[in-house]
Amino acid sequence: MSIQESSALRPESIVIVDDHEAILEGTLSILQKRYPEAKFYTTQNAQAAQEKIENVEPSLVVMDLSIPSTGDEMAQTEIGILLLRGLMKAYPQLNFLVQSAHVRSLIRLKPAIESHQGGFTISDKSSSITEMLTRADWALQGLVYTPRDMRTNLEIKPEWLDMLLLAFQDGLQDKAIAGRMNVSERTVRHYWTRLQDSLEVYPEEGKNIRIQTEISARQAGLLD
């Protein structure tokens, strides 16, 4: 694990959004054990979540999609979608873990997710604790993980191909790639995470993710 990744896994604060009190408390307990140094804030509706995130500016937001607008209203998936869309627009570098039984509805946010600069991962509520914590770690590292339903076809953008050639044919590091492409180094890292999600390449213990990306890109015909 790099110094940057190690630092990312020590979040200063985390906001959890879920209208079911038992699930909220369970998620809080699990994450507190994972990140004992972090400050935690819990909310149960969109209005409270918006206010808390504005005040706290957290390292990570863990949220359900089916939430009420206020404490007096019924939970609706559309409310969570609207909140998430607004938060991604207002905080383009904020990290998200969406934990929901309605993850397929996120297809409506696909363009926003693709352009989001922060980490964005998705975990079904039926997933194991280990899987959920892995998704949280990935989000804090700025990585992207979306369901297979959102990756039905291999969607490769021209700038990703340019980056691949510069990295694996010219042998350039991210800083040099950024200079050649006339973009920021952060943008290059953003391209990597989106490409890796499209290729279904995610961190694995003992494996170099860039090497795995090169292998998958060659298998997909993106590199000679």
Across 54-58, 86-90, 110-114, least confident range: 110-114
Q: What is the mean pLDDT of residues 69-96?
A: 93
CB atoms inside a 10 Å sphere around CB 109: 19
Residue 176, helix vs strand vs coil? helix
Distance CA 218, CA 109 (A): 29
Percent of the chain beyond pLDDT 70? 94
Q: What is the pLDDT of residue 143?
A: 93
Q: What is the mean pLDDT of residues 94-107?
A: 88
CA distances from 178 to 115, 140, 172 (A): 17, 23, 10
Q: What is the mean pLDDT of residues 128-145?
A: 94
pLDDT tens-digit readout, 157-214:
889 989 999 999 899 999 999 999 999 999 999 999 989 998 889 999 899 999 999 9
Q: What is the pLDDT of residue 153?
A: 59
Element (H, E) at 182: none
Among residues 120, 127, 160, which one has the least CA distance to residue 143?
120
Please report which confidence band the pLDDT of residue 138 belongs to, taking 50, 70 and 90 as the band edges: very high
Q: What is the mean pLDDT of residues 130-155?
A: 84
Distance CA 5, CA 137 (A): 9
Percent of the chain beyond pLDDT 90? 71
Task: Please give the span between the terminal C-alpha atoms of the chain, in angstroms, as a whole number.
Answer: 30
Q: What is the pLDDT of residue 151?
A: 64
Please report which confidence band the pLDDT of residue 87 belongs to, taking 50, 70 and 90 as the band edges: very high
62 in Cβ contact with 25 (< 8 Å)? no
Q: Which residue has the higher pLDDT, 14 or 102?
A: 14
Q: Give yes or no for residue 13 having a pLDDT over 70.
A: yes
Can you tell me which residue has the tokens 């609207």? 82
Distance CA 197, CA 24 (A): 28
Q: What is the DSSP string of 41-90?
A: EEESSHHHHHHHHHHH--SEEEE-SSB-SSTTS--BHHHHHHHHHHHHHH
Let me know if 210 is exposed, middle or buried by CB neighbors in 10 A (0-12, 13-18, 19+).
middle
Q: Give yes or no for residue 5 having a pLDDT over 60.
A: no
